[in-house]
Structure 1
């Protein structure tokens, strides 16, 4: 992280602690997600393939259905008690859920109780993960300024992706060495303990503390015109901003579920992959995803993140529009892997623009509003994709999934244009003109010189 070397020492420490903490948190969360093809067989009854797909969808969605409740709880804590408190609490929750998973008996041992037990653990992990990543992104948004803000906030997504990739690698190693899968969750619990110790070293953000002081002064002196006029407008959440960020946030869960979960089931049913082979296949995909997040993060230091999102959408539109055709000509796992690469590398996601968009929410409502966006986008899209993909592929074949992706792309396009207007970037350029300008800038990137020039 040489780009961060000139930051003040306390901010540099905060960036490092939050990136490491996010990595550890997502390592724990993704252990089950990527081992689901194996663990679902242990914790759920064995039935016909269609019912198995529905049970798998239920286990996956259980992580997200109660996230709006978690968004309200952690949003309140984050906006009224502080960002630091939230990330510490979520780390504790993740560690507890990992310890339970490591000791929970299987379906063969205690029956349906095992299914409910693993579902509750997944809910706890989902709530924990949500509060953690939102808290980390908001913290970094408030302690840095553009363009460094875009870099460090988007690196949080890279750290989360790296955690998932390492979790996959660990799962492969345990399976190859025939080590009990429970060891992975004991490792996850130990990792949470390390993350907890690290996060106690954080200091609360100055922007949050300053705004809280101003709020107290306003309550103590409600008739003071200079205090009320200075912040009354900044306390309101703009409905259009909320909706635009929501539409952009809907992109990642759809791409993730399609690439990892849906096509993971395709590998098992069509190509007769074993659970271990699916995990190995997805590990290769996770490497590509992780590297793409790193590249987008670094590019955001030189190129406005909204320009990058427009370029990604330009590439993703042909993938969506020709989706039924692509699927009809794929006849091998390697061809399917290349298609998965395209989805995760060029899919519609908020990386690397989260720091830009979060800054458009009022400070003392930022945690609650962005947590609700994160929660509802994941809950709605994972419900639509997990159950919708099962039924739509039966009723409409490839066109069912095509319909969902096309609607999401249209919403994503509108949201980008909305934030362009907020940022004053709207210049009427077409997608092709934007792409040519974007590629031209890539030829002349010199991150090191630009960073030191900005710091000076």
Structure 2
């Protein structure tokens, strides 16, 4: 297939590849619908599950409820990473979908703070932690599965589709949140129905994913090793332990970590920080904030679809650097414009620009994955990503409360600038490796 025929690339995939793309994409959609439903209804649900406080403390509670999904992600990354590397990618995507379904059922039936007090706050936080662990492992498993089941250049749009469907799940969640926070609905009961629907669909997705076959690269490499060991009368368990101890280069790990730090402050700015500004400075209601975020998510989704298309005809590293430049070019005027206008429509414009040009690892993730050993790939990339997101989201969420208190709207750059520098240097490092075709010895 020649570059430029991307509209037909899906039909050049094998039956198993098409089935994998379908099941994994739909599963990712469901995972992110369930995960983001709370995030984008937080303006309502935080009032139901946490005590009422002053505006500054409310901002801290918003930061805490958002960051709670990342608290145990590093721990979850080690658990699911081990399962993914030792048992297989398929097991992870099935297990995490089931976890998401169960947590949604608990949230849907949980009494509010007014009914059971602080117990409600702790239970909802625990459910958010479980959802965060499940979502990060599910997406990683899906991306690795497709990475190891395909080759460039088709590989890039295939893996990017996972992010596209996560954005679609986010848009659906915001759309449902907008509907259920409308005054014409009973706020106390309608959101519960949304979580129950998400749980039911996730259960169906769990069953459907059992028909997946194991990822080709992972399965082939494992089977090949088993055959060689059998010929040489060596036990698989002995050698498997040796392979499970393979380590990645420190520079590669640091570079990947810094790249994973990029998206959290951008996401937080788009959906959480700007929502807080709209409520605090422009008097928006919860329904108005969520409705505006829905249209931003649609722009985000369209931008990801364009990236998936472009990744087949333009090298992913060129796309990453272009997004980086465009993001900062569009964001530099944000503090100036917002300080000198009372028009909330400018917030929407900056949200959309940030969503379109957000700098992160998409669509180059398959390139990054290949620099990690196959039998440690899930653990390494999951753990590094989880730690990066935990650290960056906490710094961003709580840091912005204080940096904006002292520096106003310019406070966002206290976080964005160092994260951006780390991202750019790290992408350049991987680009140098690609140009030199310098794969680690265990990947050659």
TM above 0.5? yes
1:123 matched residue in structure 2: 129
Q: Hey, what's the Cα distance between the residues in 2 that align with 1:401 and 1:249?
A: 18
TM-score calculated relative to the size of structure 1? 0.88
1:10 matched residue in structure 2: 16
Q: Hey, what's the Cα distance between the residues in 2 that align with 1:407 and 1:370?
A: 22
Q: Hey, what's the Cα distance between the residues in 2 that align with 1:78 and 1:326?
A: 47
- Cα offset, 1:36, TM superposition: 0.5
Q: Hey, what's the Cα distance between the residues in 2 that align with 1:33 and 1:182?
A: 14
Q: Hey, what's the Cα distance between the residues in 2 that align with 1:305 and 1:331?
A: 39
3-state SS, counterpart of residue 424 of structure 1 = helix
What's the RMSD between the two structures over aligned residues?
Answer: 2.2
Contact 1:149 1:355 in 2 (8 A): yes
Q: Hey, what's the Cα distance between the residues in 1 that align with 2:250 and 2:175?
A: 42
3-state SS, counterpart of residue 114 of structure 2 = helix
Q: Hey, what's the Cα distance between the residues in 2 that align with 1:292 and 1:329?
A: 29
Number of residue pairs matched by the alignment: 421
Equivalent residue in structure 1 for 2:84, among 78, 85, 89: 78
Contact 1:324 1:402 in 2 (8 A): no
Q: Hey, what's the Cα distance between the residues in 2 that align with 1:241 and 1:329?
A: 44
3-state SS, counterpart of residue 397 of structure 1 = helix
Q: Hey, what's the Cα distance between the residues in 2 that align with 1:247 and 1:218?
A: 38
Structure 1 unmatched ranges of 5 or more: 427-456
After superposition, the C-alpha distances for 1:223-262 in whole angstroms (9 at most, x for unaligned) are 9xxxx9xx98x94312111111221111111111011001
- Cα offset, 1:319, TM superposition: 3.5
1:56 matched residue in structure 2: 62
Contact 1:249 1:374 in 2 (8 A): yes
Contact 1:321 1:406 in 2 (8 A): no
Name which of structure 1's ranges 198-207 and 110-119 shifts more when overlaid on structure 2: 198-207
Q: Hey, what's the Cα distance between the residues in 2 that align with 1:396 and 1:158?
A: 35
3-state SS, counterpart of residue 147 of structure 1 = coil
1:296 matched residue in structure 2: 307
- Cα offset, 1:216, TM superposition: 4.4
Name which of structure 1's ranges 321-330 and 340-349 shifts more when overlaid on structure 2: 321-330
Q: Hey, what's the Cα distance between the residues in 2 that align with 1:17 and 1:181?
A: 27
Contact 2:94 2:206 in 1 (8 A): yes
2:419 matched residue in structure 1: 408
Q: Hey, what's the Cα distance between the residues in 1 that align with 2:308 and 2:92?
A: 25
3-state SS, counterpart of residue 248 of structure 2 = coil
1:443 matched residue in structure 2: none
Change (3 A) 1:391 1:219: farther
Q: Hey, what's the Cα distance between the residues in 1 that align with 2:280 and 2:436?
A: 47
1:186 matched residue in structure 2: 196
Equivalent residue in structure 1 for 2:217, among 207, 216, 221: 207
1:391 matched residue in structure 2: 402
Contact 1:87 1:132 in 2 (8 A): yes
Contact 2:160 2:363 in 1 (8 A): yes
Q: Hey, what's the Cα distance between the residues in 1 that align with 2:169 and 2:51?
A: 30
TM-score calculated relative to the size of structure 2? 0.90
Q: Hey, what's the Cα distance between the residues in 1 that align with 2:60 and 2:303?
A: 31
After superposition, the C-alpha distances for 1:381-404 in whole angstroms (9 at most, x for unaligned) are 110011000011112223332121
Structure 2 unmatched ranges of 5 or more: 1-6, 438-444
